Structure 1
Amino acid sequence: MTSLILPNYDGGTREYSLGDAPRWNRPAAPLTSRRAYAAAHVIPEVTADNTSGAPARLDWDATLAYRHELWSYGLGVADAMDTAQRGMGLDWDATQQLIKRTGVEAASVVSSGAAAIAGKTVRDLVACGAGTDQLDLETLPSGPGGLQAVLDAYREQIAVVTEAGPKVILMASRALAAVADGPDDYLHVYSTLLQEADRPVILHWLGTMFDPALAGYWGSDDVAAATDTFLSLIQAHADKVDGVKVSLLDAAHEVALRAALPAGVCLYTGDDFNYPELIDGDGAHHSDALLGIFAAIYPAASAALQSYDAGDPVRARAILDSTRDLGKHIFSAPTFYYKTGIAFLSWLNGRQPGFQMVGGLHSGRSVVHLARTFELADRAGLITNPALAAFRMSDFLRINGVGA
């Protein structure tokens, strides 16, 4: 049994012994009981600048290999999302390359006929965010000119995703939040885009705990009023909406919203605190998943979905519950730094050569926070190579002065 000394929040230390390597099985057939996308992060070149404001230079081999790993567990990939550091280091030039390359890789997986994704399409395997982050908010005009700039920016990004083959996710827009003057402006922009869409898209509602710049989205700081606007949009264009991803970390709101959605429109939970009960459902409805935490817990998430497929919801729920403490910790306040924990686990498990993130975001969490991430991941059976993880964790602690 491997053990090491971990730091405590009170300034002390403790000895921690790792568990045995887990045994998670990849699915032998496509997952069918729930739709699930893991929102994957990106892996930069370790020798790139990787500081705030520097152009993103990605390690394409490692970044795309991570997506193949997720697909091998039967999960779809949600790409070019906030997990991939949209608005926090991943610039539009790099994002375009990510969307195009992921589309090519997804097509290769589809054509391979792998058991876990047999019969799936590229759109089943990958959905990509289309937003407006190529705009400079400081020079964005107000009024109708600003709304037109937002529309044109969305159209540019939608075209890139559509041409690459993935499903389009209409991401929440900082630019729209900055120029919109009430609900009607949101309805104008989104209705126009949905009318123009050639295939159903996913609508993304991201809360301020993930991005403070999105305050007042859908035209109101009142969640009930914003929800009414959101629902009116969906009801008017239900044939163009595949589903909605809601990331408000409010389980009661999500349950009420999914019950109010038109038939055929999915609710992809984005609640990284309450996903076990939301995915499990209430007997009448369940949530599907488009989750950042799934990029950290994907072997367990896949096992849970396999259990739902096998008619064993009790085991499925137990597996999801076993990962809840890790999810709550990774997504603890300030929530917008959750990406750091996902990249840290990726590095511990040997999925990337160094603990680096574009924009310098690897410094977004404390040493003690990451040590707790390590411990909770181990307890959930998500340290896939304990010897490697212990070696890397020990090096990380020593370099950061723990036990020096």
Structure 2
Amino acid sequence: MDSTDQNAAGEPQVPNSERDVRAETVRRLERAMGELGTAAVARMESRLSWFRQMSAEDRSWVGLVAQSGVAAFVDWFKTPGRGRPAITVEVFGTAPRELTRSVTLQQTVDMIRVVIDVVENRVEELAAPGGEQQLREAVLRYTREVAFSSAKIYARAAEARGAWDARLEALIVDALLNGDSEQGLHAWGASLGWTRTPIVAVTGGLDEESESGALDDLRSAARRAGHDVLAGMQGDRVIVVLGMSEKTTGDDAPMAAVRPLVGMFGSGPVVVGPAVTEMHSASDSVRAAVSGLRSATAWPDAPRPVLAEDLLPERSLEGDPDARRQLVEEVYVPLRDAGSPLLDTLSVYLEHASSLEATARMLFVHPNTVRYRLGRIGELTGHMPADGRGAFVLRVAITLGRLAESKATPTE
């Protein structure tokens, strides 16, 4: 029979001499398996700093993987007609799934190199006479299969981790939108690697044609800028929560963090909630941003992005109790507490089409007195009565403040 004939199992016949050489090499490998595994672990201890820094439990698992790798190679080498080795089950199946979180893909490659180096350095000793080339070729083929299997394992782990992270992000965004302030939010955020504060929420729409990849693009852009980020879809809007980078500082920090991301939102308004200092307070920022997005259509000329606090009048008219309370506390109450001249002057000024002279005549004061009082109103509230937008904010605040006081005062 020719050496290339097939046996009953359909496998190529190996010449007797080659089969004998392989059989002798297998016996030598089997005798040296324990020694090779131990040598591989010792080599990792001396060459790989990350291995030395691992916990004792993880080191023992890595050592077991190395031992299993050697044993699986010997078993595969014993039967050349078996085809590709089942690396995933025979080698990595011995370790827990959590090990992929302790050992990176690059570290796995380093580990494989060490194990293969140990075997290759002893080829002359391990191979039967005349079988050196045969063993080297088998080692190279096995190394390639281990590398491919490692990549598959880490790809599957990354895919599963990515799917879990996306679900967890959606869960956190839902909790924040619904006002959940449980301490569990800290644990959820920590599991996603969330460490940065202050925190600010951003919301806007997405164009239908870009919706599928827009969330990934937003996350990538935010992370490149050094921010922690959560993103989730809520109906036709996207909500992004940013833990701002320490490089983003100052009073304008929220807007500075958001401006580079605005182009990834769809057409329409993009609203930025107030900055908060803790994760469990982030629901305040999320609710403000969502409220601002709902009411932003009432201010067609609003900047993009726009702060939710700049939309307080629209949010109040739309029915947001937080916005109403904030307008009363930050605008009406300071004017009321400053004394009747300021509040009376503002009321008359707004009622008389923002005319200094008409206001002065109605109050029997000099126009310069009116001008001074209007300046004081701007200092107290941050809104200038002579400005169209400022006048609108002040008018809504006064109306809400008077309504609140009338409800608080019992009627006769």
Choose between structure 1 and 2: higher helix proportion.
2
Relative CO higher for 1 or 2, CA cutoff 8 Å, sep ≥ 6?
1
Choose between structure 1 and 2: higher strand proportion.
1
- TM-score bracket, normalised by the shorter chain, equals under 0.3
| TM-score after normalising by structure 1 | 0.24
